[in-house]
């Protein structure tokens, strides 16, 4: 291989680069997702229709499809306080579901998701698969998106962060105060 | 009936299995290449397509680690932009349609790899000096191509969201751009020399360097 001498140094360099990247990947990922989180605007409108007392608190909403409503939250959107008490229902939303709000201080999306769904006293049971890409949430409130059938290839629980489709899964989501998470069924 | 094929493999086991299959394919293709007539770039493009398709599908468990980008650059360097773009389209469409999932993003992948192949053709004189492959220059182009390709494919999210989401999306994706760049470096270091040797054998007899004539004229 004297014809192409450069190849001899490129081989070890390439292996070292891959090993370095694998070792650094977790810290690179954390740094990037914090940087990216600063670009997600705290849209005021994501609090529209929610109780005014929740304006600076963290909220988690789940919207159910009209064909498969939640057995309990099937009229308007039920507002539940972080202590489990029902605030009331807002019927001006498009669709039916539930919002749990009044939380503060959560930074990790998955922790907030599990805590907020727990506040509903079992009405929003959650199931998820642990994958190498993080948790994949398939069931919320007894509705398993994997089992939905219709005029589509498949369905999944889509996560919105302050009104925009989340760029990362719930396991990678960094939250700040006043953030609103919303789950809804999406299809492909 | 016996259910011999219903064996649950861990992700690592199935990745090792895939790498073994890919090794067999690469070995068989390299052996069969020796019996091909010289000066037949179209057959060589078919071989490159087999490399790219099997490599992309079988290495799917490794994020963004696949040989397609480097193969398309080499096709551009040796055979010119039209054939490299055609190769990019065949590989993207076949892999997505058969296994990985076909959708609007396929078009962005074809555009991305097509541009990568065209840039290989554009820098052909710079990368291929007197029949010698300048590996470091090829590596530089492969690393840049990783980022350019990923950003072009990322534009496909604009079909579903508005432009304000592009910045956080690209930032979150930087790690995957780095995976792609590191993978390209590996493929350039270990695969480019043997590939370039067989590609040199199957250049057009009519011209000694990258072709500028359209594909149809040789069909």
Give CA–CA dist A130/A117, Å, rounded.
18
Instruction: Compare CB distances from A6 to B135, B168, B172 and report the shortest one's residue.
Output: B135
Interface size, chain A vs chain B, as Cβ–Cβ contacts under 8 Å: 75
DSSP bridge pairs for A90: A77
Distances (CA, A) of B97 to A155, B90, B101, B189: 20, 10, 6, 30
Q: Does A30 touch chain B (CB under 8 A)?
A: no
Q: Which of B104, B103, B105, B187 is nearest to B145 (CA)?
A: B187
pLDDT at B39: 64
Q: Does B208 touch chain A (CB under 8 A)?
A: no
pLDDT at B6: 59
Give CA–CA dist A53/A178, Å, rounded.
11
- Give A-chain residues touching B161 at CB under 8 angstroms: 164-165
Give CA–CA dist A154/B12, Å, rounded.
27
- The alpha helices in A6-98, defined as continuous H runs, are 6-37
List phi, psi (to 5°) of A143.
-95, 110
Task: Give the DSSP per-residue string, B100-155.
Answer: I--SHHHHHHHHHHHHHHHHHHHTHHHHEETTEE-HHHHHHHHHHHHHHHHHHHHG
Half-sphere exposure of A142 (CA within 13 A, CB side): 9
Q: Does A17 touch chain B (CB under 8 A)?
A: yes
Give CA–CA dist A10/B136, Å, rounded.
8
pLDDT at A131: 85
DSSP label at residue A121: T
Q: Does B144 touch chain A (CB under 8 A)?
A: no
List phi, psi (to 5°) of B20.
-65, -45
Burial group, residue A58, by CB count within 10 angstroms (0-12, 13-18, 19+): buried
pLDDT at B210: 47
pLDDT at B212: 46
Q: Does A16 touch chain B (CB under 8 A)?
A: no
Question: Is residue B189 within a helix (H) or strand (E), and if so which, with residue range?
Answer: helix B166-201
Q: Does B139 touch chain A (CB under 8 A)?
A: yes
CB contact under 8 A, B182 and A35: no
- Give B-chain residues touching A167 at CB under 8 angstroms: 165, 168-169, 172
pLDDT at B146: 96
Give CA–CA dist A47/A180, Å, rounded.
7
pLDDT in tens, A138-185: 999 989 999 888 888 889 999 999 888 888 899 999 998 889 999 999
Sole residue written with tokens 């930032």? B171
pLDDT at A36: 78
pLDDT at B20: 82
- Which residue in chain A has the smallest CA separation from B104? A188
Do the beta carbons of residue A38 and residue A176 sit within 8 Å?
no
Q: Does A27 touch chain B (CB under 8 A)?
A: no
Give CA–CA dist B184/B123, Å, rounded.
17
Domains of chain A, first to last = 1-39 (no CATH), 44-187 (2.170.130.30)
Sole residue written with tokens 């060589």? B44
Burial group, residue B34, by CB count within 10 angstroms (0-12, 13-18, 19+): exposed
CB contact under 8 A, B135 and A10: yes
Tokens representing residue B8 in the block: 């649950």
- Min Cα distance B61 → chain A (Å) is 10
Task: Give mean pLDDT in consecutive 10-residue pieces for chain B, a chain of 219 residues.
Answer: 62 80 78 67 85 90 91 94 93 88 88 96 93 92 96 88 79 92 94 88 58 45
DSSP bridge pairs for A158: A184
What number of helices (H) and strands (E) belong to chain A? 2, 10
Do the beta carbons of residue A63 and residue A99 sit within 8 Å?
no
Residues whose CB falls within 8 Å of the CB of residue A183, separated by 6 or more in sequence, listed in order:
A60, A61, A62, A63, A137, A140, A157, A158, A159, A160
Sole residue written with tokens 């390709």? B149
- Which residue in chain B has the smallest CA separation from A35? B171
Q: Is B194 helix (H, G, I), strand (E, B) or coil?
A: helix
The verdict on pTM exceeding 0.90 is no
**Strongest mean pLDDT among A12-26, A44-58, A122-136, B22-36:** A12-26
Reply yes or no on whether the pLDDT at A4 is more than 60.
no
Domains of chain B, first to last = 11-218 (1.10.1760)
CB contact under 8 A, A4 and B135: yes
pLDDT in tens, A54-110: 888 999 999 998 888 898 888 888 888 888 888 778 777 778 899 999 999 999 999
- Which residue in chain B has the smallest CA separation from A41? B164
Question: Residue B36: how many CB atoms within 10 A of its CB?
Answer: 15
Question: Residue A138: how many CB atoms within 10 A of its CB?
Answer: 17
């Amino acid at each position: 291989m004297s014809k192409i001498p450069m190849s001899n140094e490129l081989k070890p360099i390439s292996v070292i680069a891959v090993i370095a990247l694998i070792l650094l990947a977790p810290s690179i990922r954390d740094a990037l997702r914090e940087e990216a989180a600063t670009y997600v605007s705290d849209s005021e409108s994501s609090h529209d229709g929610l109780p005014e007392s929740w304006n600076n608190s963290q909220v988690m909403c789940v919207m159910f499809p009209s064909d498969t409503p939640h057995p309990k939250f099937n009229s308007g959107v039920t507002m539940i306080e972080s202590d489990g008490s029902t605030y009331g229902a807002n019927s001006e939303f498009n669709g039916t579901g539930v919002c749990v709000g009044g939380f503060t201080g959560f930074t990790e999306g998955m922790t907030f998701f599990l805590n907020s769904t727990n506040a509903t006293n079992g009405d929003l049971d959650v199931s998820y698969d642990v994958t190498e890409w993080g948790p994949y949430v398939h069931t919320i409130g007894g509705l398993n998106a994997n089992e939905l059938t219709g005029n589509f290839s498949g369905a999944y629980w889509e996560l919105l962060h302050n009104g925009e489709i989340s760029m990362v899964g719930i396991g990678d989501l960094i939250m700040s105060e006043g953030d609103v998470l919303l789950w809804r069924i999406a299809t492909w | 009936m016996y259910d011999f094929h219903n064996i649950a493999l861990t992700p690592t086991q199935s990745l090792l299995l895939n790498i073994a299959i890919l090794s067999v394919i690469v070995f068989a293709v390299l052996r069969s290449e020796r019996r091909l007539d010289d000066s037949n770039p179209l057959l060589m493009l078919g071989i490159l397509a087999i490399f790219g398709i099997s490599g992309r599908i079988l290495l799917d468990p490794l994020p963004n680690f696949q040989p397609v980008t480097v193969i398309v650059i080499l096709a551009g360097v040796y055979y010119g932009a039209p054939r490299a773009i055609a190769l990019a389209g065949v590989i993207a469409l076949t892999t997505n349609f058969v296994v990985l999932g076909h959708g609007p993003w396929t078009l962005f992948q074809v555009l991305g790899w097509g541009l990568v192949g065209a840039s290989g053709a554009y820098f052909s004189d710079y990368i291929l000096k007197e029949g010698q492959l300048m590996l470091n220059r090829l590596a530089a182009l492969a690393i840049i191509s990783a980022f350019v390709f990923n950003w072009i494919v990322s534009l496909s999210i604009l079909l579903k969201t508005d432009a304000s989401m592009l910045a956080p999306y690209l930032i979150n994706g930087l790690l995957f751009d780095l995976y792609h760049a590191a993978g390209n470096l590996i493929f350039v270091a270990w695969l480019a020399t043997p590939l370039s040797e067989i590609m040199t054998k199957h250049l057009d007899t009519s011209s000694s360097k990258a072709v500028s004539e359209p594909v149809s004229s040789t069909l």
